[in-house]
């Protein structure tokens, strides 16, 4: 481990706390402007005003706004995310049930897209304007432009409908993982391929690549030992961002494949005005991005010796 890493990580994590609190305040305030009374929604159309008033007391909605906010923030700082209005279970438990599912699919998807994207991107760059490169560029364009839910539906039609080799929805077996992971991987894969290609093209025109060729290294050795690490630096950022996006919950994909992940949890909570769950999932998303950014920054310092921990 590099010198000063621990201190650097600590500073970054402590610095994230105020940021997350600001996010929490913003989501709290925004939800006040959401249409519809959560208590009415919970009870349905037939509820009497008395029932609604009782429900509001039960949910704590009768308290002044600043008291509600302070309770929420105080809970957050203690690690208490509150209780879901809809299910009556602790929010932490709901998230604990759904996050691992999302994390699992996202991780598989990001690994597929990183490995394939970097390999194809490098190949495409090294053979610029070749047939391979042209095909890659068209496929990448399709990949970034294709709506994810449409792709998911097409995959279901082909692999579940016509071929019948994979289940169309649900969760539990490795087979259930394949279509969602492929669907989720498509966009990041296209992005990573495109960025790796352009980054690699830039790097192989650098003087130090010419120096390496002048030493007598083969093109393959030059790519592997000299170009790749340099070209990888901007790609890491994109991998990090894409992973964050996946972890935040792929609402559409999870809905299409009926996966019990955090995306679906959040959507259900929004429809039910289940504020505690909405707030928790937004703050969680922010925390995930903070962590991933930190990981990306740490990886920079290993990839590029010019970047150091100070400040």
Partner 1 sequence: MSELPGRTQPLLEIENLHVEYRTLDGIVKAVNGLNLRIDEGKALGLVGETGAGKTTTALAVMKLVPTPPGVITAGSVRIAGREILPLGDAEMQHLRGNQVSMIFQNPMASLNPVHDVGSQIAEVIRLHQGVSPREARVRAAGMLRAVGIPENRAGDFPHEFSGGMKQRVMIAIALACRPRLLIADEPTTALDVTIQAQVIDLIKSLKRDYSGAQLLITHDLGLVAEMCDDVAVMYAGRVVEKADIAELFQNPRHPYTLGLFGSLPNLKKSVHRLRSIGGLSPDPKMLPRGCPFHPRCAERMDVCTERTPSESVVGAGHTVCCWKYSESGGTR
Binding site for partner 1 (CB under 8 A): 206-208, 210-219, 225-226, 229-230, 303-306
To partner 1, the closest distance from the beta carbon of 136 in angstroms equals 19
Between 7 and 225, CB nearer to partner 1: 225
To partner 1, the closest distance from the beta carbon of 116 in angstroms equals 24
Who's near 186: CB < 8 A, 6+ residues apart?
Answer: 113, 143, 146, 148, 151
Q: Helix crossing, 131-145 with 174-203: angle to 10°? A: 120
Between 2 and 225, CB nearer to partner 1: 225
CA angle, corner 85, sides to 84 and 86, nearest 5?
Answer: 90
To partner 1, the closest distance from the beta carbon of 191 in angstroms equals 23
Q: Which two tokens stand for residue 6?
A: 């621990």
To partner 1, the closest distance from the beta carbon of 215 in angstroms equals 4
Between 197 and 226, CB nearer to partner 1: 226
Between 58 and 127, CB nearer to partner 1: 127
To partner 1, the closest distance from the beta carbon of 219 in angstroms equals 8
Between 78 and 306, CB nearer to partner 1: 306
What's the N-to-C CA distance of the chain in angstroms? 18
To partner 1, the closest distance from the beta carbon of 130 in angstroms equals 11
Between 32 and 211, CB nearer to partner 1: 211
SS (HEC) of 142-168: HHHHCCHHHHHHHHHHHHHHHCCCCCC
Nearest to 195 by CA among 137, 268, 130, 110: 137
Q: Which two tokens stand for residue 179?
A: 């279509």
Radius of gyration of the chain (CA): 24
What is the Cα 91 distance to its own chain's centre? 20
Between 58 and 215, CB nearer to partner 1: 215
To partner 1, the closest distance from the beta carbon of 276 in angstroms equals 47
- Please state, in angstroms and rounded to a whole number, the distance separating the CA atoms of residues 130 and 124: 8
The length of the chain is 311
Who's near 303: CB < 8 A, 6+ residues apart?
Answer: 229, 232, 233, 236
């Amino acid at each position: 481990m590099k010198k000063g890493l621990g201190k650097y990580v600590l500073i970054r994590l402590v610095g994230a706390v105020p940021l997350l609190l600001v996010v929490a305040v913003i989501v709290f305030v925004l939800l006040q402007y959401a249409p519809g009374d959560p208590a009415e929604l919970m009870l349905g159309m037939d509820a009497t005003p008395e029932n609604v008033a009782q429900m509001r007391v039960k949910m704590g909605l009768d308290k002044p706004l600043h008291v509600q906010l302070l309770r929420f923030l105080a809970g957050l700082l203690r690690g208490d995310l509150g209780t879901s209005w809809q299910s009556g279970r602790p929010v932490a438990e709901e998230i604990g049930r759904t996050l691992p599912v999302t994390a699992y699919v996202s991780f598989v998807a990001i690994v597929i897209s990183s490995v394939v994207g970097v390999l194809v991107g490098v190949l495409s760059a090294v053979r610029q304007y070749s047939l391979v490169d042209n095909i890659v560029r068209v496929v990448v364009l399709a990949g970034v432009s294709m709506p994810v839910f449409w792709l998911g539906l097409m995959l279901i039609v082909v692999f579940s409908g016509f071929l019948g080799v994979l289940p169309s929805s649900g969760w539990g077996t490795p087979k259930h993982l394949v279509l969602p992971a492929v669907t989720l991987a498509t966009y990041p894969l296209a992005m990573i391929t495109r960025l790796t290609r352009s980054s690699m093209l830039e790097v192989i025109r650098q003087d130090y690549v010419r120096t390496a060729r002048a030493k007598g290294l083969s093109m393959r050795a030059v790519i592997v030992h000299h170009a790749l690490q340099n070209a990888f630096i901007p790609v890491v950022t994109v991998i990090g961002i894409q992973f964050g996006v996946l972890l935040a919950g792929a609402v559409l994909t999870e809905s299409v494949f009926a996966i019990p992940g955090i995306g679906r949890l959040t959507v259900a909570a929004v429809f039910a005005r289940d504020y505690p769950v909405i707030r928790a999932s937004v703050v969680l998303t922010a925390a995930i991005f903070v962590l991933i950014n930190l990981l990306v920054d740490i990886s920079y310092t290993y990839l590029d010796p010019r970047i150091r921990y100070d400040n």
